[in-house]
Amino acid sequence: MQIPFKTLLEINKESSLPIYVQIANGISQNIQAGILKTGTKLLGTRQMAELLEVHRKTVVAAYDELYSEGWIEVFPQKGTFVAQHLPTVKPVEFSVKQENTSHEIPNLTIAQNAIIKIPPVITHRLAFNDGLPDIRLAPREELARLYAHYIKFGDSSILQYTNPYGHIRFREVFSAFLNETRGMNILPQNILTTRGSQMAFYLIGSALFQKNDEMLVGSLNYPAANMTFESLGLKLNIVPIDEDGIVVDAVEEICKQKSMSNTPIKAIYITSHHYHPTTVTLKPERRIKLLALAEKYDFYIIEDDYDYDYHYANRPVLPLASADRHGLVIYLGSFTKRIAPTFRVGYIVAKQEIIDELAKYRRIMDRQGDTILELSLADMLEDGTLKRYTTKAVKTYRERRDFTCDLLKNELGNIIDFKIPDGGMAIWAKFDKSISLMELSEKVGKKGLYLSNGSAYGDLNACRMGFSSMNLKEMEESVGILKVVI
């Protein structure tokens, strides 16, 4: 049977891939698929070139490539053949063009994960997001200058593999910064860098807990954290929340019950400064009692302080980690909210034995962090660049919060219920039951405005409405779209 090489070898002259490579790849793929069997004679270079409408030298180069890789053999006076030593593959009918579709192989099927959800990629021009910074305000020029400096003039060692814990200079500078601003008493050895908070959840869950260990989370909670811990096999016990955040008395009751049944609570996850999603700050009396319960029932407090710097009512409240005397608080955060989501530098702060164990897991999932970015951030912490930027951002975001809250009350006050948040970058908004948040989200999306459909929070018909990433003009336009659609 004559082999239809013109059909088998598709050439895209618009592709950046050289044509000779496309020909070589096409032939090797057909050999591996069993279409071109061992010993099959290929067309001569001149004939193949005419068939494919390319220069003969292009085919010669493709054959040379295949010969060097061992796919073909050349015999003088006889021609070019598919190599004999290759294993025989059951041939596929080449008379019918094969589509690039997957098929199941016994024992190699993919287990469908029902827990992990891929988050939406927001491409809308306007967005009430989860509460993200305005990247237009970020100190990008300073960061670019420092990054370029380290690439061009930095010591050659920073381009090599470095410590999975994070670069020592960053950890030295950042530990001093946390001691000064968060009331902590830590050393560089108490810090592990991560690529954002999400990696921190995964490392903590993997290193410190076993499958079926018991954990506490709020009835409303950061969905990504729940998803991570649940996917690792932890059992999530739900704690009620009220207008002041997580109900610590309920934490005590669950701990008592679990202790009596010999299934002790191993950890609680909490966003104490600006509770996610409701934005409230955990009151002092609840903080004190929660620390006491951790000591009494011997569980870890995983404290996610995701937007500590953005507090408007007064100075930020010190984290639980600042009052931890027994190493029970695992404190985490990231620079995502301080600069921009694309800069993946996060951190975990804990006692050294925990950090050492976490570093082992970090080593096998991600050899190290972005050393140059860590060094650039260390410089920006030392020279005051980040402090100046944060001071400016807090002022801007406070103005945007006030403007947004006034606008929503004046234009949609009979439909959206919310409290003015003391801090953070989003409003927790409850919509009137007459409004389907699911339908509203879809309709405003068609007009270029992103609004969460609230599905992450059950049937509450509520969502977070980020105000920090839009300026006043954009916010006015966004609320206008909401009003028109409603």
Tally of domains within the chain? 3
From 387, 411, 440, the end of a domain falls on 387
From 365, 387, 409, the end of a domain falls on 387
Residues 376 and 460 occupy one common structural domain: no
Angle between helices 197-208 and 223-231 (to 10 degrees): 30
Read off the CATH number of the domain in which 269 is found.
3.40.640.10
Residues 414 and 329 occupy one common structural domain: no
Distance between CA atoms of residues 338 and 196, nearest Å: 12
DSSP states along 359-414 = HHHHHHH-S---HHHHHHHHHHHHTTHHHHHHHHHHHHHHHHHHHHHHHHHHHHTT
Read off the CATH number of the domain in which 57 is found.
1.10.10.10
318 in Cβ contact with 273 (< 8 Å) = no
Residues 361 and 463 occupy one common structural domain: no
Distance between CA atoms of residues 475 and 468, nearest Å: 10
Q: Are strands 300-304 and 329-334 parallel, antiparallel or unpaired?
A: parallel
Cβ atoms < 10 Å from Cβ of 243:
7
From 343, 361, 387, the end of a domain falls on 387
Q: How many residues does the chain have?
A: 486
Answer yes or no: is 115 within a domain: no
166 in Cβ contact with 191 (< 8 Å) = yes
Answer yes or no: is 110 within a domain: no
Residues 273 and 303 occupy one common structural domain: yes
Answer yes or no: is 95 within a domain: no
Answer yes or no: is 119 within a domain: no
366 in Cβ contact with 199 (< 8 Å) = yes
Residues 315 and 382 occupy one common structural domain: yes
Residues 408 and 351 occupy one common structural domain: no
Residues 201 and 222 occupy one common structural domain: yes
Alpha-helix runs per DSSP H in 182-303: 197-208, 223-231, 248-260, 284-297
Q: Which helix (H) or strand (E) holds 450?
A: strand 449-451
Read off the CATH number of the domain in which 434 is found.
3.90.1150.10
Answer yes or no: is 121 within a domain: no
Residues 371 and 422 occupy one common structural domain: no
Could you check whether the bond before residue 76 is cis, i.e. omega within 30 degrees of 0? no
196 in Cβ contact with 346 (< 8 Å) = yes
179 in Cβ contact with 186 (< 8 Å) = yes
With H, G, I as helix, E, B as strand and everything else as coil, classify residue 10: coil
136 in Cβ contact with 486 (< 8 Å) = no
Q: What string of pLDDT tens digits covers the 486 residues of the chain?
A: 678 888 888 888 888 889 999 999 889 888 887 888 888 999 999 999 999 999 999 999 999 989 988 889 999 889 999 998 876 655 555 444 455 555 556 677 777 788 888 877 888 999 999 999 999 999 989 999 999 999 988 888 888 888 899 999 999 999 999 998 888 999 999 999 999 889 999 999 999 999 999 999 999 888 899 999 999 999 999 999 998 889 999 999 999 999 999 999 999 999 988 888 988 988 888 888 999 999 999 999 999 998 888 888 777 788 899 888 899 999 999 988 888 888 888 999 999 999 999 999 999 988 888 889 999 999 999 999 999 999 999 999 999 999 999 999 999 999 999 999 999 999 999 999 999 999 999 999 999 999 999 998 988 999 999 999 999 999 999 999 999 999
Distance between CA atoms of residues 15 and 26, nearest Å: 14
Q: Which region holds residue 415: left if phi is over 0, alpha if psi is between -120 and 50, else beta?
A: alpha
Distance between CA atoms of residues 448 and 478, nearest Å: 9
* Backbone φ, ψ for residue 414 (5° rounding): -85, -5
Distance between CA atoms of residues 234 and 216, nearest Å: 10
pTM of the complete model: 0.79
- Please report the beta strands in 125-224, taking only residues with DSSP state E, as ranges in sequence order: 126-128, 191-194, 214-218
Residues 344 and 429 occupy one common structural domain: no
Distance between CA atoms of residues 430 and 408, nearest Å: 12
Distance between CA atoms of residues 405 and 409, nearest Å: 6
Residues 366 and 247 occupy one common structural domain: yes
Residues near 328 by beta carbon (within 8 Å), at least 6 away in sequence: 291, 294, 295, 299, 300, 301
Answer yes or no: is 89 within a domain: no
Range of the domain at 33: 5-82
21 in Cβ contact with 62 (< 8 Å) = yes
Distance between CA atoms of residues 124 and 448, nearest Å: 5
Residues 453 and 318 occupy one common structural domain: no
Answer yes or no: is 96 within a domain: no
Tokens of 458: 């059950």
Distance between CA atoms of residues 111 and 102, nearest Å: 15
Answer yes or no: is 31 within a domain: yes
Residues 400 and 364 occupy one common structural domain: no
